Amino acid sequence: MKDLKKGILYEIHTGGDEDNYDVGYLLTQDDSHIIFQTVNVNGFEDGLLLHRTDDIDKVQFNTKYTDGIAKMIQHHQTKLKEIKFSNANLLMEVLHYAKNNKSMVGISLKNSGVLNLLGFVETITKESITTLEIGNDGEVEGNGLAKIDDIDYIGVDMYRHQKNKILFSMNKQKGKT
């Protein structure tokens, strides 16, 4: 993965499913993790995506699909947020970024292939995190706990999780949470 370059739009394939992938620009990487700033099918910013480098099946670029997304980005004049990470510990930096920005996170744990946690990061220690879990109806479902070493994937403010965040905010305004 060290050959990836900034400024190129990539397809990021994981989980062995050829048709299920994210599209984004490389933000940074270290020996064990990689962060992409993702873009949705309409060319709009779609959040941050952190993966363990060894969980990525393949990365493609200059495909018909990425070329089409690039045209949508240009058409909408999409400006991506400038986010900097120090590369000291990317996984911990992303968790702190999400917590400090009150971002919705989707987290997958080792070898699960599914989102195990979906909500807001509440606490972070060297060994674990706790989350406030938010359901599809925006209601609080409880708390989640995960070991830091078990985290394979973190999606931060991804478009596919925004419904939960919006409904949570609406419920909070109504005093339901």
Average pLDDT over residues 60-67: 96
Lookup: tokens for 80: 């991506």
**Model confidence at 68: pLDDT above 80:** yes
- The full set of domains in the chain, from first to last, is 1-85 (2.30.30.100), 88-177 (2.30.30.100)
Q: Which of 35, 160, 55 lies closest to 110, judged by CA? A: 55
Three-state secondary structure readout of 42-106: CCCEEEEEEEEHHHEEEEEECCHHHHHHHHHHHHHCCCCCCCCCCCCCHHHHHHHHHHHCCCEEE
Kindly tell me if the per-residue pLDDT of 177 is higher than 80: no
pTM for this model (two decimals): 0.90
Do 94 and 52 form a contact (C-beta atoms < 8 A)?
Answer: no
In the predicted structure, residue 18 carries a pLDDT above the cut 80: no
Give the model confidence (pLDDT) of 114-160 as tens digits. Answer: 789 999 999 999 999 999 999 999 999 999 999 999 999 999 999 88
The rounded distance, in Å, linking the Cα atoms of 40 and 35 is 16
pLDDT at 26: 94
DSSP, collapsed to helix, strand or coil, labels residue 27 as: strand
Q: Are 38 and 66 in contact (CB under 8 A)?
A: no
- What average pLDDT is seen over the chain? 91
